[in-house]
């Protein structure tokens, strides 16, 4: 699985755990609901900056690449 797919799946799982729609989740992440929808469906890839901000707002830590 590619890293972009992993990030997409993490966001989708976190949104569903919180029982939020795209708009609500986007507000939590500091973006639009449309952006969340595009990321989850793979229409657009999330930037590293946006992913970093999203994960910080969710209070979760994600490691990209190998841990040393």
Domain chopping of the chain, boundaries: 3-58
> In a 3-state reduction of DSSP, which class is residue 61?
coil
pTM (two decimals):
0.79
Domain 3-58: which CATH number of 3.30.43, 1.10.357, 3.40.50, 1.10.260: 1.10.260
pLDDT value of position 3:
80
Which residues 6+ apart lie within 8 Å of 12 measured at CB? 40
Question: Residues 34, 27: contact at Cβ < 8 Å?
Answer: no
For residue 67, pLDDT beyond 90: no
Q: pLDDT tens-digit profile of 29-39?
A: 889 999 999 99
Do 49 and 34 meet the contact criterion of CB atoms below 8 Å apart?
no
């Amino acid at each position: 699985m590619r890293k972009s797919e992993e990030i997409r799946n993490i966001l989708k799982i976190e949104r569903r755990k919180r029982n939020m729609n795209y708009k609500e989740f986007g507000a939590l992440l500091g973006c639009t609901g449309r952006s969340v929808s595009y990321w989850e469906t793979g229409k657009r890839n999330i930037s590293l900056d946006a992913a970093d901000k999203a994960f910080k707002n969710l209070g979760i830590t994600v490691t990209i690449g190998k841990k040393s």
